[in-house]
Amino acid sequence: MPLPPDVHDAEPIPPAARAAIDELLQSGDLFRYTAPQDAPVTLLEGEFAAMIGSKYALAVSSCSAALFLSLKALDLPRDARVLIPGFTFAAVPSSVLHAECLPVLCEVGDDYRIDLTDFEAKLDDVRAVIISHMRGHTSDMDAIMALCDARGIPVIEDAAHSLGTTWHGRNIGTIGRIGCFSFQSYKMINSGEGGILITDDADLVARAVIMSGAYEHNWAKHKGPRGENVPDLQRAFERWQNRLPLYNLRMNNLSAAVIRPQLPELARRVRDGLANHDHVAARLNAAAHFDVPPPLPAERRAPDSIQFNLLGLSDAQTRAFADAAGARGVKVQVFGLSTDNARAFWNWQFIPDLPDLPRTRAMLMRACDVRLPVRLSRAELDLIADILLDAMAETLGELHAFG
Ligand SMILES: *Cc1c(COP(=O)(O)O)cnc(C)c1O
């Protein structure tokens, strides 16, 4: 049998990045605020906002930084309660604590989406909500926005891993008050590290810009859509001048030079990623013991990995399945069974009074995660699917044989 592909290899950065990087190395102009205009970070912000359909974008050092700045931009009081899903990456509750707020965890169902009954039950004394579209799975944003709008609760979308996903045809990240994306290497656009915050709200973006490290009057280099001067934005900057701490979470020009030539690749990556995912999903769903939850009707996904639940298996069988796939060269992460997994809420022991979430826990104990980088060929995808099916056959056969 041929060896499966290394699913941690990234796609090459488009060659167009080289000229921009060479120019930056030649000039040494790496800081976003040195050039009077058109610094790569500034250009990236304009291009990203136009692509995604938001008024403003602020590029920063990571999605975690974007989430933290979002909470600070909302001006939440100390110890404000912020509702987050019980299935997300540890960076999300961390950003809440960093903003001196208290994370409140809500249950997530077998389809990796927010349990709306638990969500509604926990909304009452909450001051903000972060929705993580975990691994790109979109929760019911119509229901979430209706519940939050009725109570005047701002929604931050953690779209770190959802760039290119749409909801009723609209880009994920543009539905809540603020959207946050990641450019870390395992996401759809890769600059190693990096993030971006988007919003239509001039006051929020002005606060985030200043706190991200636009000291003195560097904020004057942030403009509205298509580089226009927006009076509301100008007034917001003047209002907040010298009144906010600087956390210095800026993006540097080299990162922007790596990201910009990838933006035109996004549509192709989304198309290929979705076709790849759906191919493997159909093969797994046709077999016993596998369940790949379908997208919600309003959702068009942009996956670079696949998640599936193992049905009717014990803990021991689930471990045996992951081991059998691993022995054949396909790494399967069972979120709740791999040691110290950063997406298993019981490992977030830095949260005071960490609750239990029985539904989320049960899901995490059977939910498997396999990377499917968008560059894989049909033959490579079939090889991965074959290995997963073989691993299941071996798991059930062996355990029957040995009782
Ligand atoms: C990757 C990820 C983050 C963190 O992004 P960074 O840019 O590494 O800080 C946050 N939330 C989710 C859902 C992620 O997938």
Ligand 1 centroid from CA 90, angstroms: 9
- 95 in contact with ligand 1, CB cutoff 6 A: no
Q: Which two tokens stand for residue 347?
A: 């490992």
Model confidence at 1, in pLDDT bands (50, 70, 90)?
Answer: low
pLDDT digits (tens, 9 = 90+) for 22-76: 999 999 999 999 999 999 999 999 999 999 999 999 999 999 999 999 999 999 9
pLDDT digits (tens, 9 = 90+) for 123-144: 999 999 999 999 999 999 999 9
Instruction: Give the 3-state secondary structure of 280-333.
Output: HHHHHHCCCCEECCCCCCCEECCCCEEEEEECCCCHHHHHHHHHHHHHCCCCCE
Model confidence at 10, in pLDDT bands (50, 70, 90)?
Answer: confident
Instruction: Give the 3-state secondary structure of 12-46.
Output: CCCCHHHHHHHHHHHHCCCCCCCCCCCCHHHHHHH
Task: State which of 134, 183, 184 you would mutate to test the pocket of ligand 1, scoring each by most atoms of that ligand within 8 A of its C-beta.
Answer: 184
Model confidence at 403, in pLDDT bands (50, 70, 90)?
Answer: very low
Taking the C-alpha atoms of residue 319 and residue 264, their distance in angstroms, rounded to an integer, is 41
Q: Determine the pLDDT at residue 112.
A: 98
Ligand 1 centroid from CA 68, angstroms: 12
pLDDT digits (tens, 9 = 90+) for 332-370: 999 999 999 999 999 999 999 999 999 999 999 999 999
Ligand 1 centroid from CA 393, angstroms: 34
Percent of the chain with pLDDT over 70: 98
pLDDT beyond 90 at 218: yes
Model confidence at 15, in pLDDT bands (50, 70, 90)?
Answer: very high
The predicted model gives 8-21 an average pLDDT of 91
Q: Determine the pLDDT at residue 3.
A: 76
pLDDT beyond 90 at 402: no
Q: Determine the pLDDT at residue 399.
A: 53
> Which of ligand 1's atoms lies nearest the C-alpha of 132?
13
In terms of Cα–Cα distance, which of 201, 222, 98, 109 is closest to 156? 201
The predicted model gives 221-232 an average pLDDT of 93
- 40 in contact with ligand 1, CB cutoff 6 A: no
Task: State which of 69, 89, 185, 304 you would mutate to test the pocket of ligand 1, scoring each by most atoms of that ligand within 8 A of its C-beta.
Answer: 89
Taking the C-alpha atoms of residue 335 and residue 61, their distance in angstroms, rounded to an integer, is 27
Task: State which of 182, 305, 343 you would mutate to test the pocket of ligand 1, scoring each by most atoms of that ligand within 8 A of its C-beta.
Answer: 182
- 195 in contact with ligand 1, CB cutoff 6 A: yes
pLDDT digits (tens, 9 = 90+) for 237-266: 999 999 999 999 999 999 999 999 999 999
Q: Determine the pLDDT at residue 68.
A: 98
Taking the C-alpha atoms of residue 77 and residue 71, their distance in angstroms, rounded to an integer, is 10
Task: State which of 157, 161, 180 you would mutate to test the pocket of ligand 1, scoring each by most atoms of that ligand within 8 A of its C-beta.
Answer: 161
Ligand 1 centroid from CA 307, angstroms: 17
Q: Determine the pLDDT at residue 9.
A: 80
Ligand 1 centroid from CA 134, angstroms: 9
Looking up tokens 């995660």, which residue turns up?
Answer: 369
Q: Do 40 and 191 touch, CB atoms closer than 8 A?
A: no
Q: Determine the pLDDT at residue 6.
A: 87
Strands 81-85 and 128-132: parallel
- 89 in contact with ligand 1, CB cutoff 6 A: yes
Q: Which two tokens stand for residue 220?
A: 């004057």
- 304 in contact with ligand 1, CB cutoff 6 A: no
pLDDT beyond 80 at 107: yes
The predicted model gives 378-394 an average pLDDT of 97
pLDDT beyond 90 at 14: yes
